[in-house]
Structure 1
Amino acid sequence: MSEQSIELRETVRQRYAAAAVQVTEGGGACCGPEPVEVDENFGSTLYAAAERDTLPAEAVAASLGCGNPTAVAELREGERVLDLGSGGGIDVLLSARRVGPTGKAYGLDMTEEMLALALANTAKAGVTNVEFLKGTIEEIPLPANTIDVVISNCVINLSVDKSAVFAETFRVLKPGGRIGVSDVVADDALTAEQRAERGDYVGCIAGALSFAEYRAGLAAAGFTGIEIVPTHHVADGMHSAIVRATKPAAGPDTGATPATDDSCCGVTACCTPSEQSTDPSVTVSEAKSAAGCACQN
């Protein structure tokens, strides 16, 4: 990773760490240039009131997304769901309720402060079929072929290596698995410079892919049935969009690895992997052992 990419990732981490701290101290957060800004294009207002009312206030306040991926992913009872960039946990908690006690929802975030907030929100909500992992969305700390659905809410645009995100998402999905993502997408006519003029990177604008770039990235990773549907404008030529795609049910690299109910830490701590296995033959337990997951109670 280049020095510029490292610096950019750290800027993103600091911005969302600050947002988590602000929520913990009784404030609010919203995706945009300033953590305290309220923007109707981002945040908890994009969820139905009935959904918001079932969650801790802190989980709602920490919502930074541009959509509601739990609704577009059409989650089903018993499925295993992974939320990329889970933040304060709003989508993980909603997913856990949708998949029920026989399913499981994982949240992945690189920010200690957000993970701490998510764990606190999980305890308040009394939800038990969830697990939060520390790591980056470019190196997902889960074995291959173990997840039914990957969701994400306005986070992929923040990645410094989106091709790695798409490849890792494809890897962890079971054959026939799917993604249901909300993200910011730019009109194909806009250059990278023009996107940057409309908003900064941590504000979910400058790092957004175009529609064509998004489709090409997903296709290069192996996804089929790619669908990108804009839902509302977030800036001139920039849209919040629903992104759906599927991992083919059969293929040379889609042999399924049986999932287990092993947990690294459960809902009372977060996993801190030092290394991630990308070997499709590695079991959940072996991958966790190799990763050196440390439970922080």
Structure 2
Amino acid sequence: MTIDKLNLRDLEEREIVTGEHCLACTAGSGSSCQGTLADENTCCEAAVKEDKKQAVKEYYGKVFKTQKDLKTSACCSIQAFPEPVKSIIKNIEPEILDRFYGCGSPIPPLLEGCNVLDLGSGTGRDVYIASALAGEHGFVTGVDMTDEQLEIARKHKNAQMKRFGFKRCNADFKKGYIEDLKECGIKDDSQDVVISNYVINLSPDKKSVFSEIFRVLKPGGELYFSDVFADRRIPEDIKNDHVLYGECLSGAMYIEDFRRMLRELRCLDYRVMSKRNINIEDSEVAAKTGNIVFYSMTIRAFKLYDTEDLCEDFGQAAYYQGTIPHYPHHFQLDDHHLFIAHKPMLVCGNTASMVSNTRFGKHFKILGDRKVHYGSFVCGSAAQKAGNGDAPSGGSCC
């Protein structure tokens, strides 16, 4: 397949030349190794990661022109756009929409006045949606490493602010890597919400990505993202297939490794908003991926320090007051917690914290505290349910 004179096979067949030290680490190249004889595995690992970054840049900067160029539907969420988002999308410049890669909608409610960070913002669709929801008292920052995508996002900035009726610009785009947000000037504890739309799977260093996310989130802040997950660890030969990497399959996270990464960052419970199996219809792709089951999932997690690895019962109930804009009748925390307005619901300690120690807190009343423990909460743990072949519903509460 050739697009704009660039053959996709060229991406598949790239080789990484290694010796006593990687060619990528030659003195004067700007790399941290500076040509010194370092540990071969460490040095070559850095070169592999850099090679993948360059492949992604090329794929999304030169190969990928519209969503029609994708071979699979891996990067499409099952979630429909929320009503507030539907009206905003009609106000987005057509070029931004046409060249935007993600097709999910990882936009949580209640963004008014928030600082929002979009990882892998591409042409800026989600940045502009979030900026409309955050209002002039909020601010949205997009981070991307691809010049071609950033050019589109930036050139429409003034026009988008005018469309939204804003007197001041509340959006900006920074070139950089999501593994190193500090280099982009994103400070500790500065963001209320971090979003990402099928991008984290493309990172060759996911541990650094999640570490950076929880560094920049404020206490009580939220990570809300859509991405591709797998029911097992991806074999090395598939990991190194650049076309499958660009299709969001090679970098898919094994769901249990994702849970472990969050656990290392003291995030012991995450919640699933939606999930679906990804059907691989392209015969060449299916032949390469074999029996691996891929999932498209939208997940939320909070920077909270009082959650536990299992759901625990403290006799608490949560009462939604029906005051979140656009959600007067109910509020969905995850795929199994739908709070009906003015109706108390028994909840575990983790859920109580998620709706009280976050930006949702002023919209909920919590009945009870953690002084008395009544044992485990009846909803159990995701680990206990993971053996049924389906993607688990969360890191703790299922």
Q: TM-score, normalised by structure 2?
A: 0.54
Check whether the contact 2:144–2:178 (CA below 8 A) recurs between aligned residues. yes
- The size of the alignment, in residue pairs, is 237
Q: 2 CA distance for matches of 1:146 and 1:203?
A: 32
Q: Which residue does the alignment assign to 1:112?
A: 147
Q: Given that residues 77 and 296 in structure 2 are in contact (C-alpha distance below 8 angstroms), is that contact kept between their aligned partners in structure 1?
A: no
CA contact 2:77–2:298 (8 Å) conserved in 1: no
Deviation of 1:115 after TM superposition, in Å, equals 1.0
1:1-297 equivalence runs, <5 A: 2-18=46-62, 22=65, 29-30=66-67, 36-37=69-70, 42=75, 48=81, 50-70=87-107, 73-126=108-161, 128-140=169-181, 141=184, 142-188=186-232, 191-192=234-235, 200-235=244-279, 237-248=293-304
Match of 1:268 in 2: none
CA RMSD of aligned residues (A): 2.8
Distance 1:60 1:146 in 2: 28
Inter-partner Cα distance in structure 2 for 1:249 and 1:19: 43
Distance of aligned partners of 1:230 and 1:113 in 2 relative to their CA distance in 1, 3 Å threshold: same
Preserved CA contact (<8 Å) 2:78 2:104: no
Deviations 1:137-185 (A, max 9, x none): 0000211010000000000000010000000001011111110000011
240-249 vs 223-232, greater mean Cα deviation: 223-232
8 Å CA contact 1:44, 1:63 repeated in 2: no
Q: Secondary structure at the match of 1:82?
A: strand
2-side partners of 1:223 and 1:18: how far apart? 37
Percent of pairs with identical residues? 32
Q: Distance in 1 between matches of 2:255 and 2:101?
A: 22
> 2:78–2:276: 8 Å Cα contact kept in structure 1?
no
TM-score scaled by length of structure 1: 0.72
Larger deviation, residues 121-130 vs 174-183: 121-130
What are the Cα deviations for residues 256-297 of structure 1, in whole angstroms up to 9, with x where unaligned?
xxxxxxxxxxxxxxxxxxxxxxxxxxxxxxxxxxxxxxxxxx
Q: Could you list the runs of 5+ residues in structure 1 that have no partner in the other structure? A: 23-28, 251-297
Q: Which residue identity does 2:180 align to in structure 1?
A: E
Q: Secondary structure at the match of 1:2?
A: helix
DSSP-derived class of the 2:278 partner: strand
Measure how far apart 1:63 and its partner are. 2.0
Q: Secondary structure at the match of 1:3?
A: helix
Rg larger for: 2
- What is the CA deviation profile of residues 196-223 of structure 1, one whole-angstrom value per residue up to 9, with x for unaligned ones? 59x7111100111111111111221222
Q: Distance in 1 between matches of 2:153 and 2:80?
A: 18
SS of the counterpart of 1:160?
coil
Moved over 4 A (4+): 38-41, 43-47, 193-197
Supply the distance in 2 between the matched residues of 1:91 and 1:122 (Cα, whole angstroms): 13
In 2, distance between residues paired with 1:220 and 1:62? 36
Q: Per the alignment, do residues 46 and 15 of structure 1 end up closer, same or farther by CA in structure 2, a change over 3 Å counting?
A: farther
Q: C-alpha displacement at 1:92, in angstroms?
A: 0.2
Say whether the 8 Å CA contact 2:75–2:103 is kept in structure 1: yes
Instruction: Please give the secondary structure, in 2, of the residue aligned with 1:204.
Output: coil
Tell me whether 42-51 or 175-184 shows the greater mean CA deviation. 42-51
